Amino acid sequence: MIKRIFALSILILSPLFWRGVGGEANAQTGWNAVTGFGTNPGNLNMYDYVPTGITGKAPLVVALHGCLENATIFSAQSGWNTLADNHKFYVVYPKQNSANNPDTCFNWFLPGDIERNQGEAYSIKQMVDYMKAHYTVDTTRIFVTGLSAGACMTNVMLACYPDVFSAGAVMAGAPYKAAENSTQALEIVYGTDTNTPAAWGDSVKSAYPAYTGAYPKVAVFQGSADYVVNPANETQVMYQWTNVHGASQTAASTITSFNGNPLVTKNIYNDPSGNEIMETYTITGMEHGIAVDTGTCYQKGGQTGAYSWEITGFFSSFWAAYFFNILNNNTINISGLTTVTVSQTGVTYSVTSSASTSYTWSVPTGASITSGQGTNQITVSFGSTSGNVSVTETNSVSCKVGPLNLFVTVGSTTGINQLTSNNQLTAYPNPTDGIIHIQSTGALQTVKVFNSLGEVVQQSVINTSEFSIDLSSYPAGIYILFLQEDGKAPSIRKVILR
């Protein structure tokens, strides 16, 4: 009981007295204490981490610590700095002051700190503005994540600044405006603060009523044995963001034993166009904190601590970065057809072979691997269902890379002719319904569809890395897709509709 009462207090304690800000000495390369980043109405401190070797525009991740933590502790335990070194992106670490909250919790439940352009929320946004002004930040790839009170503040930032953040990762947090005082915050701990999806969604929409653009995608990570933030909040956060996106509260797909770990269940939620807009990861038996998988493998990282737990095979920051689509694995790709016909046989897929490495493949429902499972090349016989051909590589010391995915459309219509001037974008046609799914490494800026006469028949400006184009009502013929990403050469695709 003592442990539980203490846990309640560290999530919600409001400002009571001054303990001093306290310096955070460290010797990490690229770590900087930043002052003068704005008017700072929330009285927060700012730290950033800038890896060496960044060329051109790079993503930015804002990482928010939990109660009784600070920026240095969270940076070490979450492993974001190492991920930044390996994959070349910037990280900002806001730090709470004990003058604001005696247990250094971000004040996610105080009205003056959770509205657009006010208090702590505005201070964090000013940190983003500082990074944009001083570094080559890709403004279409700015993300936010956090633990506990930092996770609750993550939802605050996503709701108040959907024009700034492309996606967020909530690690043991509560919905936006789940509480507006300390008494209501206690109800979050007990899991009694529930609401309808529509009501939760309205809370987000009211944060920036004039906004008409796309809302951020959201991933949620939650331990089932969390005694600080009741696991029921995972469902409430899901309700909130699926409603905002106009999506169903029923998962489009569920993966048990995610990445080979029987403790982790992943649910995927799609919008009405079939685009993935939300993921939830439930870690069975994990208490309050983040999941780390210590080690130096590609998919390992982080450090154990008071609120970070060793979960073999599941490093939550890695999978958040994977969700953000900011991992540099461009040298590891699956080669093979992206469009096949119903019941086509003898289709091969491969990855570059590495010594002492095994390969675990999976194929869409109705397809079968006729040879090559365990090697770097497989032969597939397809059924009638489109889906991912996936592979996970495991080397001699049990380091994994994957799953790597290649979406394959099964149908009778010729799809995309791969005519492209860069390797940053992939188009997946579905000839059975006339829908073309687009994926890019960054948020696309301009999309145009031309007919064979050179006339523009569809045009839009978007701010998301995944979306779909509906050509189902178009007459048969040849069409050209023109896709322009910010700061990159355009990509062109030819589409044949029959």
| Cα gap 217→214, rounded to integer Å | 9
| Cα gap 293→299, rounded to integer Å | 8
Nearest to 282 by CA among 237, 329, 223: 223
Tell whether the model's pLDDT for residue 183 goes beyond 70. Answer: yes
Which of 412, 445, 467 lies at the terminal end of a domain, its last residue? 412
Looking at the structure, tell me whether residues 78 and 97 fall in a common domain.
yes
| Cα gap 410→413, rounded to integer Å | 9
Q: What is the CATH number of the domain that holds 480?
A: 2.60.40.3080
Q: What is the CATH number of the domain that holds 289?
A: 3.40.50.1820
Looking at the structure, tell me whether residues 403 and 296 fall in a common domain.
no
Looking at the structure, tell me whether residues 312 and 358 fall in a common domain.
no
**Mapping DSSP to helix (H, G, I), strand (E, B) and coil, where does residue 370 land?**
strand
**For residue range 213-226, what is the model confidence (pLDDT) as tens digits?**
999 999 999 999 99
Please tell me which residue, 483 or 375, carries the higher pLDDT value: 375
Which of 371, 391, 412 lies at the terminal end of a domain, its last residue? 412
Please tell me which residue, 488 or 191, carries the higher pLDDT value: 191
Count of CA atoms in the C-beta half-sphere (13 A) of 330: 12
**For residue range 386-417, what is the model confidence (pLDDT) as tens digits?**
888 999 999 888 888 888 888 898 985 443 33
Q: How confident is the model at residue 440, as a pLDDT?
A: 64
Looking at the structure, tell me whether residues 97 and 223 fall in a common domain.
yes
Looking at the structure, tell me whether residues 158 and 197 fall in a common domain.
yes
Q: Which residues of 197-209 are buried (b: 16+ CB within 10 A; e: fewer)?
A: beebbebbeebbe
Which residues are annotated as catalytic?
A: 148
Helices 182-190 and 2-12, packing angle to 10 deg: 130
Rg (CA), the chain: 23
Please tell me which residue, 353 or 26, carries the higher pLDDT value: 353
Looking at the structure, tell me whether residues 97 and 191 fall in a common domain.
yes
Q: 196 with 252: CB under 8 angstroms?
A: no
Eight-state DSSP code of residue 53: T
Looking at the structure, tell me whether residues 28 and 125 fall in a common domain.
yes
Query: With bands split at pLDDT 50, 70 and 90, how would you rate the model's confidence at 17?
Result: very low
| Cα gap 482→450, rounded to integer Å | 8
Tell whether the model's pLDDT for residue 18 goes beyond 60. Answer: no
Tell whether the model's pLDDT for residue 373 goes beyond 70. Answer: yes
Looking at the structure, tell me whether residues 105 and 121 fall in a common domain.
yes
Q: What is the CATH number of the domain that holds 373?
A: 2.60.40.10
Q: Which residue has the tokens 């605050």?
A: 156
Query: With bands split at pLDDT 50, 70 and 90, how would you rate the model's confidence at 66?
Result: very high
Tokens of 497: 């509709």
Looking at the structure, tell me whether residues 188 and 249 fall in a common domain.
yes
Q: 279 with 332: CB under 8 angstroms?
A: no
Looking at the structure, tell me whether residues 61 and 98 fall in a common domain.
yes
Tell whether the model's pLDDT for residue 466 goes beyond 50. Answer: yes
Strands 377-381, 387-394: pairing is unpaired
Q: How confident is the model at residue 323, as a pLDDT?
A: 95
Which of 266, 292, 324 lies at the terminal end of a domain, its last residue? 324
Close Cβ partners of 280 (under 8 Å, ≥ 6 residues apart): 219, 220, 221, 222, 234, 238, 251, 266, 267, 269
Tell whether the model's pLDDT for residue 250 goes beyond 60. Answer: yes
Looking at the structure, tell me whether residues 195 and 299 fall in a common domain.
yes
Tell whether the model's pLDDT for residue 307 goes beyond 90. Answer: yes
Lowest model confidence (mean pLDDT) among 59-73, 237-251, 334-348: 334-348
Amino acid at 56: G
Q: 131 with 50: CB under 8 angstroms?
A: no
Tell whether the model's pLDDT for residue 452 goes beyond 80. Answer: no
* CA 418 to chain CA mean position, Å: 28
> CA torsion, points 123, 124, 125, 131, in degrees to nearest 10?
110
Q: Which residue has the tokens 């919905």?
A: 175
Tell whether the model's pLDDT for residue 434 goes beyond 70. Answer: no
Q: 47 with 142: CB under 8 angstroms?
A: no
Count of CA atoms in the C-beta half-sphere (13 A) of 221: 31
Tokens of 243: 């409603």
Residue 352 CB neighbour total at 10 angstroms: 11
If one counts the domains in the chain, the total is: 3
Q: 101 with 13: CB under 8 angstroms?
A: yes
* Residue-averaged pLDDT of the chain: 86
Which residue range(s) make up the domain with 137?
2-324
Please tell me which residue, 427 or 42, carries the higher pLDDT value: 42
| Cα gap 232→226, rounded to integer Å | 10
Looking at the structure, tell me whether residues 408 and 422 fall in a common domain.
no
Phi/psi for 46 (5° steps) reads: -125, 135
